Amino acid sequence: MVNNQPHTISRICCVCRKLQPVTNMTRVVRVNGEFFVQTDKRLQGRGAHVCSACLDSANLQKSLCRSFKTQLPASILQQLTQK
């Protein structure tokens, strides 16, 4: 049986743990100890995905700290909540 549907890339949100299309998510990346909110170019490094519904969640900071096993800078959290 041939599946003619286009393949959609999905990732699990680190806050709500739901599988969602990557187009609905924001990626936070740690590269050499520095944190970035991924824009249009793909950054290499340890990443965590957050769905758009969880950007205002009270558990956002705790979930990202758990994913990266370290504290996040306040500037990254501000960038995420502004989106």
Kindly report, residue by residue over 50-62, the tens digit of the pLDDT.
Answer: 998 998 888 899 9
Domain membership flag for residue 4: no
**Structural domain of residue 52, as residue ranges?**
11-38+46-82
- 5 in a domain, yes or no? no
Residue 37 contacts residue 28 (beta carbons within 8 Å): yes
Confirm whether 1 is domain-assigned.
no
Q: Is residue 2 part of a domain?
A: no
Number of domain units in the chain = 1
* Residue 6: inside a domain: no
Could you tell me whether strands 25-31 and 46-51 are parallel, antiparallel, or unpaired per DSSP bridges?
Answer: antiparallel
The pLDDT tens digits of the residues spanning 11-44 come to: 999 999 999 999 889 999 999 989 999 877 788 8
Q: What is the pTM of this model?
A: 0.83
Quick one: pLDDT band at residue 8, thresholds 50, 70, 90? confident
Task: Please check whether residue 50 lies inside any domain of the structure.
Answer: yes
